[in-house]
Amino acid sequence: MAPPEYQGNLKDIITKPAGGGANPTFGHMIRFNAMMPSEEIYCPSLQCAVYDNLLFGLSQPLIGNMFIPMGLIYRVQKRLRKNEAAFEDWVWDNIKRVNQGITQETEDELKERLLEIYNTEQMIEALVHNEDELKVMQTCGIYGGNFPPKILDREWCESIVIRPKYEIDSRTKIRVESNAPSVAEYVSLGYDPTLESGVRHWRYFVKKELENCPEIMNKSAFSTFGLKRGLSSSLFHAKKNEPEMLDVGTFKGWVNLKLAEEVGNPSMLNQIKDKIKTLSEADQEKVKPYIDIYSNFKLDNVFQGIEKEIIGRPKFVVRLYIIEAFNLSSRDLTSPSDPYLYIQLGDTIIDERDKHQDDTENPKFYSMYEFKADLVINPLLEISVFDYDYIGRDLIGKTVISLDDRYYSPFWKSLPQKPIEDRSLHLEESATEQGRIRLWVDIFKAGEETPAWNIIPQPDAVYSLILHIGIRIKTGYMGN
């Protein structure tokens, strides 16, 4: 990726082999300087080749090539940085001259301007020159789309988890819940043996995978690029109407492209945060939550966070809460399946075979599983539901959660609590849904985790029934 006169001085950049399997994780950050045209329309693509490392490197057949559109990426990132700079200038101008408090109009305009930074329609209109670029932009996830509206809805964010409030009914003198939300949107978890327990809570849920909810999580922090390989030309293997390029996989990563003079430029965001600290408590409450959200989304902050953790490789604590599954497909001929959970993250496997539930398509689990994780190397959390058999087992279905997509997503980080999601269970050989599983995931840096949620439901009460039967016998004398 350089003009011809510079190519003689360039060397190929080669990474170390990643782990084996169909989903290897490289966990590398590559930084280099390159001469590029001043007009981004003339920028060449960055070519990357992926090889298979066989026999300790003695054989390295090509898996596929990918081409990263550097000009389009620079165009998008340049526009985003321009939008972010304009937003920071506006915020600074408005908070530095506050003398009588932040008005409701200023707060509303703050939200509107924050939404405009990532407006899809405006971005496409300004940056996309043709249909091919639009397709690349959407397919690769170079730009993810509109800002999810629920993230800026502070009332909704604060009500993802609702703690019950109790009062004594004046008529029945029984303790009742006074703020129960709709069961169409919330799931009740845990129970309070006493008023002071504080265990039970309601949690908001969505009826699909969280990554498929554009109103909450719009896209991953990463981009994806298709791996392709050309077909070998052979008289014996040629097929009619066969494509010239074969799709062989997908490469996920992130690309940060900046001019050399832009590197290290100070941001006004830190000045804004310091200025907010000098405001009254009421004004801080109006402004700070939105600035914190913006800080999560700021392009350079996202990149710096990923870069820092790829280099530092911190450890994480992952908590998986599984509530129930429903409408599971049967793997037995004459009865519903006997389902149990099988969960894997990296080398850690949890096999719940001994806890299988007999003859049910709607098992209840109410369980929490905790993992120590390295999200750079092992980002995929696999949750499988199997049918128990005395000998062997049958897979009912599986779902996979990409934990790095969650943790590094600014959408995810902006949620104070994580909603429950209903995830589809599938088999690799079938597109038909095999059931659904209800769960949520929490991810913490090791040492920063909060207490785990207790989601065990109230146990069934056991009552003793004592029945007293009285028999009265009336006696008398009957003569002849």
Q: What is the DSSP letter of 248?
A: E
The confidence score (pLDDT) of residue 208 equals 94
Are the C-beta atoms of 217 and 210 separated by less than 8 Å? Answer: yes
pLDDT in tens, the chain (480 residues): 555 555 555 567 787 777 777 778 777 788 877 777 777 777 888 888 888 888 877 788 888 898 888 888 888 888 888 889 999 999 998 887 766 678 888 888 988 888 888 776 677 777 777 787 777 777 776 665 667 778 888 899 999 999 998 888 888 888 888 899 999 999 999 998 887 788 999 999 999 999 998 888 877 778 888 898 887 655 445 555 656 778 888 888 888 888 777 776 777 898 999 989 988 888 888 899 999 989 988 888 888 888 888 878 889 999 999 999 999 999 888 889 999 999 999 999 999 999 999 999 999 999 999 999 988 888 999 999 999 988 878 999 999 999 998 998 888 888 999 999 999 999 988 889 999 999 999 999 999 999 999 999 988 766 667 776 766 666 555 554
Are 396 and 342 contacting, i.e. CB atoms less than 8 angstroms apart? no
Break the chain down into helix, strand, coil percent, rounded to 5.
30, 25, 45
Nearest to 309 by CA among 367, 363, 262, 379: 379
Question: What is the greatest pairwise CA distance in the chain?
Answer: 139
Continuous segment of H or E residues that includes residue 404: helix 403-407
CB 17 within 8 A of CB 32: no
Distance in angstroms (rounded) separating the CA atoms of residues 112 and 109: 5
DSSP state of 150: G
Q: At what angle do helices 299-312 and 70-95 cross, to 10 degrees?
A: 110
Instruction: Give the N- to C-terminal CA distance of the chain in Å, as an integer.
Output: 128
Strands 46-51 and 62-68: antiparallel
- Cβ atoms of 124 and 304 closer than 8 Å: no
How many residues belong to the chain? 480
At 368, list the tokens: 């929490």
Predicted pLDDT at 436: 97
Structure confidence at residue 262 (pLDDT): 72
CA distance 118 to 99: 30
Is residue 278 within 8 A of residue 287, CB to CB? The reply is no
Question: How big is the CA angle at 149 (ends 144 and 150), to the nearest 5 degrees?
Answer: 115
pLDDT of residue 158: 92
Distance CA 251, CA 50 (A): 9
pLDDT value for 480: 45
- Single out the residue of 316, 268, 345 nearest to residue 94, CA to CA: 268
Q: How far apart are CA 261 and CA 282, in angstroms?
A: 40
pLDDT at 360: 95
Break the chain into its structural domains and give their ranges.
1-147+221-312, 156-211, 314-445
Distance CA 30, CA 307 (A): 10
- Rounded to the nearest 10 degrees, what angle do helices 281-297 and 299-312 cross at? 70
Indicate the CATH number of 314-445 among 3.20.20.70, 3.30.750.80, 2.60.40.150, 3.90.15.10.
2.60.40.150
Residue type, 189: L
Measured CA to CA, the distance from residue 46 to residue 186 in angstroms comes to 47
SS3 at position 213: coil
pTM for the model: 0.85
Q: Which two tokens stand for residue 279?
A: 């405001």
Which helix H or strand E contains 66, and what residues bound it?
strand 62-68
Contacts of 65 (CB under 8 A, 6+ apart): 47, 48, 49, 50, 227, 228, 229
